[in-house]
Chain A
Amino acid sequence: AQTVTQSQPEMSVQEAETVTLSCTYDTSESDYYLFWYKQPPSRQMILVIRQEAYKQQNATENRFSVNFQKAAKSFSLKISDSQLGDAAMYFCAYRSGGNQFYFGTGTSLTVIP
Chain B
Amino acid sequence: DVKVTQSSRYLVKRTGEKVFLECVQDMDHENMFWYRQDPGLGLRLIYFSYDVKMKEKGDIPEGYSVSREKKERFSLILESASTNQTSMYLCASSFPTDYSNQPQHFGDGTRLSIL
Interface residues of A (CB under 8 A from B): 1, 6, 9, 32-33, 35, 37, 43-47, 50, 52, 91, 93, 95-101, 103-106
Indicate if the CB atoms of B42 and A44 lie closer than 8 Å. Answer: no
Indicate if the CB atoms of A91 and B100 lie closer than 8 Å. Answer: no
Counting chain B residues whose Cβ lies within 8 A of the other chain, the interface size class is 20 to 34
Indicate if the CB atoms of A43 and B50 lie closer than 8 Å. Answer: no
Chain B residues positioned under 8 Å from A98 (CB to CB): 97
Those of B41-61 within 8 Å (CB) of chain A: 41-43, 45, 48, 50, 56, 58-59
Q: Roughly how many angstroms separate A83 CA and B50 CA in the complex, as a whole number?
A: 38
User: Of B40, B96, B103, which one neighbours A9 at CB under 8 angstroms?
Assistant: B40
A44/B108 contact (C-beta < 8 A), A103-B42, A104-B42, A105-B42 known: yes
What are the 8 tightest A-B residue pairs by CB atom distance, in nearest-first order? Answer: A105-B42, A45-B106, A103-B43, A47-B103, A44-B108, A103-B42, A33-B101, A106-B42
Given contacts A45-B106, A99-B97, 16 further A-B contacts (CB under 8 A): A37-B103, A44-B107, A44-B108, A45-B90, A45-B109, A47-B103, A47-B105, A50-B101, A50-B103, A91-B43, A96-B100, A98-B97, A99-B31, A99-B56, A100-B45, A101-B104
Indicate if the CB atoms of A1 and B107 lie closer than 8 Å. Answer: no
User: Of A45, A52, A91, A93, which one neighbours B101 at CB under 8 angstroms?
Assistant: A52
- Nearest Cβ on chain A to B89's Cβ, whole angstroms: 12
19 A-B residue pairs with Cβ-Cβ distance under 8 Å, sorted by A, are A6-B42, A33-B101, A43-B108, A46-B106, A50-B103, A91-B43, A93-B103, A96-B100, A99-B48, A99-B96, A99-B97, A100-B45, A100-B48, A101-B92, A101-B104, A103-B42, A103-B43, A105-B40, A105-B41
